[in-house]
Each structure stands twice: as structure tokens, then as C-alpha cells.
Amino acid sequence: MALVALSVVLGVACSGTSDHHADVAPVWSESEIGLIQSLSLDALPPPPPSPGNAVADQPAARQLGERLFFDPRFSSNGEISCASCHQSALHFTDGKVLGQGVGTSARHTMSAVGAAYSPWQFWDGRRDSLWAQALAPLEDPVEHGGNRMFYVRLFSELPEYREPYATLFGPLPDFSDPAQFPEHASPLGKAEWQAAWQEMTPASRDRVNRVFANMGKAIAAYERTLLPQRTRFDDFARSLGQAGSQEGVILNPAEQRGLRLFISGGRCIECHNGPLFTNNEFHNTGVLPPEGERPDLGRSLGLGQVLADPFNCLGDYSDAAPQQCQELRFVRKGMTLIAAFRAPSLRNAAYTAPYMHKGQIADLAAVLDHYNRAEQAAIGHNEAEPLGLDAAQLRDLEAFLRTL
Amino acid sequence: MLKRSMSWLTLAVLFAVPMLVAVRLWAEPLPATTAVAAFTSAQGYFRVTYTSEPIVINRMHSWQLQLEDAEGRPVTGAVIAVDGGMPAHNHGLPTRPQVIEAAGAGDYRIDGLRFHMPGNWEVRLQITAGALSDEVVITLSL
């Protein structure tokens, strides 16, 4: 075993040195190979169970959810769907600084790819499942801009949704009586929607909430299928340690040197670890607010919101038993959450500019410059420390990020 | 072609011995797959053995604890508070784990543990049983 690894290692060194001396690929130790392979898609298990969502893995729910994801009728102007901001051609992001729905989102659009693996959703983790997350943009006044009463009625009137819904969740309630179910109503949004919601009986509100939650569960079932594609990096990781391997061909020396910086000198792997290159945890990395804006408090506000969310794992609309809601039970509070944001996946990073929670960093070179300087945070404490990398190292690191 | 593979072989043999030694040395810190390890508290009042499934980064999991006093007798009814983190990074645990007493004498369970990066971690157990209070620091390298 050691011999195989050794000859592979020497193979890289030889092919590196034989051509030009300056362009040398690293010699990988066994422990480095272990780390590299821990980042490969070969090490990615299926998405973790979603105890709050009984239909999470049902094909019929997936199909229903996919249709909803792309359906712009579920918006206040009939033009915005999830796919307006999460575009499949752009790895389920939008290429914009801030999301553009019926208005402008408060933050930069995250990719929905691999989101099923995260215990927390959004930059600040203000939702604890994909299905609860999906309900938020629908009622966000600047994203889909509508309200749950309007959505569930529309949904119940469309045969393409009615029928699959009935098989998955049971027959839809009849929302046609205006005395019980006004045209627009929600506990959120416009004052008149909130007033109408207050006038509904608890039983009517519960019926609306239940269908609304189930729409989210179907969308989540679809999103669970959004997984990253294999890249050259995954082929490289698989080839390491295999006899007669081609790893020197799969990643060039600069990319391999960048990889070594990623897993050691650059300390990136501390937070961007696992096959999705994220630990899905909250960190303050000192990303400054855009010019003239107040700093975003991030997780320190998101935590209160997820605990109060009626659609969280412990809520009435969750299919989970309370003891299955481990994330909420053991959630950490405290000062380190100030201006902390969830580490995003770095899969497809080359194609998902701009970056960070407000889209405030335009390109990968600027991201690396940010980490290299690791300046003081506007609020809270920057966990990252200056790296002291030189220009050539930063170029190598960027070359590596582009292989993901 | 033949010449190249010959030289690989020679090199491989030359390096094999130091390489094998090196692998041993690197393996010295507790590997991530440690299933059982025992630690004594700062003042020697308690001894804690923890058992875990192989620890996987970013995965929420539990440990079984076995708590004994200095004479090796199981300690029941102890109150155990959990804290910890990565001393080198100056940050704590990402979760707030909790300890409950389990069925057997001296058996406890920590739920809600998660380690979110590779490196050296500490799990600190503040143990109070009767009039005695002491801290156990469990160190692990992931």
C-alpha cells in the first residue's frame, strides 16, 4: 500500500521535474491523499433524511415540486418563479449581486445545489429545512411577493396540482367560500392581508397553513435531486493512490499546488470541507458590508427567526418527532454568531460570481485577496487570520478553485 | 520507457523504509476513528471513558460515557456540563451538547456533538457528583 502510494507520488514528482523545474506539482503524503479524497464526490452520501418531510423522497412529490419550482403563476405579478433566481443554466444561482424578484432581495442568491445536505438554510440559517425555506421567498414582499391564501387557492384550482396532491397528501380542502377564505390573507406582508388573516378562524388558518407547508414539502423533494456534477477535481481525487494513475494529467501542477494551499497553508479546508466544500456552519470571516450600508448581523438574527418559525422541525406542520429535531435541540447561541454567515459550497464557484452574502465581492481573485489580508470585521470577530500568500500562490489557489 | 520504470523501482525501494516509519509517526495522535478512550480529571477525582462510533466531520452524533471515581467505582447521579472547541482556533463547539444519565450504573450519554473541521479538538466535561467537582478534558484529533 505504502509502496503504491510512494510510486504514485514519485510519478508526479518525476513528470513535474522532467519538463520545467519551476512548474512542479506537489508530492502527496498519505494523510493528504486522505484529506483530498474526503473532498471528492465519491465520498458524498445520499442527502440526509428530512424527518420533518414525509414525502421528501417520493417521486410523485419530486415531480409536483419541480413543476412548482418553475411556475411563475405563484407570484404577485405572475412573472417570478424560484427558477427566476435559481437558474439551472447558472448552477441554480442568478449571476446578480442581489436577487431580483418583484423587487430586490436583501441578499445575494445562494445556489440551491446541494442545499439538501445543510441542516440550516439561508446565509443566516433562519430556516431549518428545505421545505420551510421554500415558503419564505413565496411570501417575501420583494421575491414572489404574494401571500399563502392566494397561493393555496390558486394551487387548489389547477388540476395539474390538485390530482398529484390528493395522492400524496389527501384531498385538498375547498377554499371557495369567501366568508371562510378571503382572497388574500397571511400573518405576514401587507397590513390588509394580516387583518384578513386575523379574522379567519383558527381551523381555516390551519387548513391554509397545511396546504402551504405541503407545497414546500413537494418543492423540497425536488430540490433534493439538485446535486453537484463530477468535475476534474473528483477524477483527480479518485486517481490518487491508484497504480498507473493519470493525476498529473487531470490537474496541472498549478492546480495541484493550489489544492495543497487549500488543504494546508490557506486553511480553507477548516470551513470548506467535505465533498460539498462546506461545513454548513456559521463563521464571521470579516466580509465588509457594501459601501454605505450597515453591517448585516447574520446568524445572530437568523437564530431567533428559526426558533420562532411555525414551520420549523418542532412546529405543527412538521412530520418529525421532537427528538428527531436534533439541530434545534442542540443549537448554539452566543456572541460568535454576530455577523456570522453560513459557509457556502465552493462547488461550481468559478461559475457563480459574484460572491458572499451581499454579492459584495466580484471575482475569485478578490475573494482570495480578502482572505489573504483578513482585515478586522466591521462587527464581531473575524475568525480568519492573514495568510501571507504571495501573488503566485494566490494564482495557484484560484486555479484550483476553478477545477471544482 | 523501461529505464524510467526501473528508476522508479530503485527509488521506491530506497524510500520505502523511511516512508513506513514516517507513516507510523504521523499516526500517533488519536485517529478520527477512535472508538474508546479514557481520561482522568484534573484533580484526579474522576475517570471518564468515552465510546463513540467513528467520528465523521460535520455529523451530529452521541458518545457513551462511563464515569468512575478514583477507586474505579461507577459514579451515579453526577451532573455533567459539556463545553469545548478548538484551542488553536479560539472557537467553541458548533452545537450545545447535553449529557443525560443512562441505564447502567455510571453510564451517561452526550447527545448533540458535532465537529465541523479537521484538526485538534477538546471536549471539556465539568463533572459534579456529591461534594466533588472536577473537569475532564478529552482531546481528539480529527
- In a domain, residue B4? The reply is no
Across residues B68-80, what is the average pLDDT? 95
- As a whole number, the mean pLDDT across chain A is 92
Q: How far is the C-alpha of B48 from the C-alpha of A248, rounded, in Å?
A: 48
Q: What is the pLDDT of residue B26?
A: 31
The model's pLDDT over B38-72, given as tens digits with 9 standing for 90+, comes to 899 999 999 999 999 888 889 999 999 999 999 99
Q: What is the pLDDT of residue A26?
A: 86
* Three-point CA angle A336, A338, A342, nearest 5°: 85
The residue in chain B having the minimum alpha-carbon distance to the alpha carbon of residue A270 is B117
Number of domains into which chain B is organized = 1
The continuous run of DSSP H or E covering B135 comes out as strand B132-141
- In a domain, residue B25? The reply is no
Q: How far is the C-alpha of A258 from the C-alpha of A395, rounded, in Å?
A: 8
pLDDT at residue B1 is higher than 90: no
The residue in chain B having the minimum alpha-carbon distance to the alpha carbon of residue A268 is B117
Q: What is the pLDDT of residue A251?
A: 93
A360 and A288 in contact (C-beta within 8 Å)? yes
Q: What is the pLDDT of residue B69?
A: 94
Question: How far is residue A236 CA from its own chain's centroid?
Answer: 25
The model's pLDDT over A220-234, given as tens digits with 9 standing for 90+, comes to 999 999 999 999 999
B116 contacts on A by Cβ (under 8 Å): 271, 273, 279-281
Q: How far is the C-alpha of A46 from the C-alpha of A224, rounded, in Å?
A: 9
- In a domain, residue B40? The reply is yes
Query: Chain B neighbours among A 275-314 (CB < 8 Å)?
Result: 279-282
Q: Greatest CA span in chain A, whole angstroms?
A: 82
The model's pLDDT over A263-302, given as tens digits with 9 standing for 90+, comes to 998 889 999 999 999 999 999 999 999 989 999 999 999 9
Residue B28 confidence class, pLDDT cut points 50, 70, 90: very low
* Three-point CA angle A229, A100, A102, nearest 5°: 130
Name the pTM for this structure.
Answer: 0.88
B interface with A, Cβ–Cβ below 8 Å: 4, 8, 11-12, 15-16, 19-20, 23, 26, 57-58, 60, 89, 91-98, 111-112, 114, 116-119
Cell (9 digits) for A226: 439538485
Q: What is the pLDDT of residue B135?
A: 96
pLDDT at residue A1 is higher than 50: no
Q: What is the pLDDT of residue B34?
A: 54
Integer angstrom CA distances of residue B106 from B36, B123, B129, B131: 16, 19, 11, 17
SS3 assignment, position B81: strand
Q: Which of the following CATH numbers is that of domain A19-44+231-298+338-401: 3.90.700.10, 1.10.760.10, 3.40.50.970, 2.60.40.10?
A: 1.10.760.10
Q: How far is the C-alpha of A302 from the C-alpha of A76, rounded, in Å?
A: 26
Cβ-defined contact of B119 to A270 (cutoff 8 Å): yes
A248 contacts on B by Cβ (under 8 Å): none
The residue in chain B having the minimum alpha-carbon distance to the alpha carbon of residue A284 is B91
Cβ-defined contact of B16 to A279 (cutoff 8 Å): no
Rounded to a whole number of angstroms, the distance from the CA of A7 to the nearest CA of chain B is 6
Domains of chain A by residue range:
19-44+231-298+338-401, 59-223
Rounded to a whole number of angstroms, the distance from the CA of B49 to the nearest CA of chain A is 22
A318 and A311 in contact (C-beta within 8 Å)? yes
**By C-alpha distance, which of A155, A124, A148, A150 is closest to A134?**
A148
Q: How far is the C-alpha of B138 from the C-alpha of B67, rounded, in Å?
A: 13
Question: Given CB atoms, is A32 within the 8 Å cutoff of chain B?
Answer: no
Q: Which of the following CATH numbers is that of domain A59-223: 1.10.357.10, 3.90.1170.50, 3.40.50.720, 1.10.760.10?
A: 1.10.760.10
Q: What is the pLDDT of residue A22?
A: 66
User: Domain of B36?
Assistant: 30-141
Integer angstrom CA distances of residue A349 from A92, A107, A111, A250, A258: 12, 18, 10, 19, 15
Across residues A127-140, what is the average pLDDT? 98
- In a domain, residue B11? The reply is no
The model's pLDDT over A24-52, given as tens digits with 9 standing for 90+, comes to 888 899 989 999 999 999 999 999 999 99
B12 contacts on A by Cβ (under 8 Å): 3, 6-7, 10
Q: CATH no. for residue B82?
A: 2.60.40.2480
- As a whole number, the mean pLDDT across chain B is 79
**By C-alpha distance, which of B39, B55, B25 is closest to B118?**
B55
For A27, other C-beta atoms within 10 Å of its C-beta total 16
Strand order across the beta sheet in which B120-129 lies: B91-92, B79-86, B120-129, B132-141
Question: Given CB atoms, is A271 within the 8 Å cutoff of chain B?
Answer: yes
SS3 assignment, position B82: strand
B19 contacts on A by Cβ (under 8 Å): 2, 6
Q: What is the pLDDT of residue A2?
A: 39
Rounded to a whole number of angstroms, the distance from the CA of B104 to the nearest CA of chain A is 22
A19-44+231-298+338-401 and A59-223 agree in CATH topology:
yes
Q: How far is the C-alpha of A129 from the C-alpha of A224, rounded, in Å?
A: 11
Cβ-defined contact of A10 to B8 (cutoff 8 Å): yes
The model's pLDDT over B117-135, given as tens digits with 9 standing for 90+, comes to 888 999 999 999 999 999 9
Cell (9 digits) for A216: 414546500
Q: What is the pLDDT of residue B37?
A: 83
A29 contacts on B by Cβ (under 8 Å): 26
pLDDT at residue A149 is higher than 80: yes
Q: What is the pLDDT of residue B35?
A: 64
The residues pairing with A304 across neighbouring beta strands, listed in sequence order, are none
State the complex-level ipTM.
0.80
A90 and A353 in contact (C-beta within 8 Å)? no
Q: How far is the C-alpha of A32 from the C-alpha of A37, rounded, in Å?
A: 8
pLDDT at residue B29 is higher than 50: no
Cβ-defined contact of B118 to A333 (cutoff 8 Å): no
Across residues A159-186, what is the average pLDDT? 95
B67 and B46 in contact (C-beta within 8 Å)? yes
Helix residue ranges per DSSP H, A40-100 = 59-69, 82-85
Q: What is the pLDDT of residue A243?
A: 72
Q: What is the 3-state secondary structure (H, E, C) of B88-119?
A: HHCEECCECCEEEECCCCCEEEEEEECCCCCC
Q: Give percent above pLDDT 90 in chain A.
A: 85
Cβ-defined contact of B93 to A2 (cutoff 8 Å): no
A309 and A315 in contact (C-beta within 8 Å)? yes
Q: Which of B20, B26, B96 sits opposite A31 (nearest CB)?
A: B26
Q: What is the pLDDT of residue A333?
A: 86
Q: Which amino acid is residue B91, in one-letter code?
A: H
Task: Give the burial class of A13: count Cβ atoms within 10 A of its Cβ; 0-12 exposed, 13-18 middle, 19 or more buried.
Answer: middle
Q: Which of A273, A329, A334 sits opposite B117 (nearest CB)?
A: A273
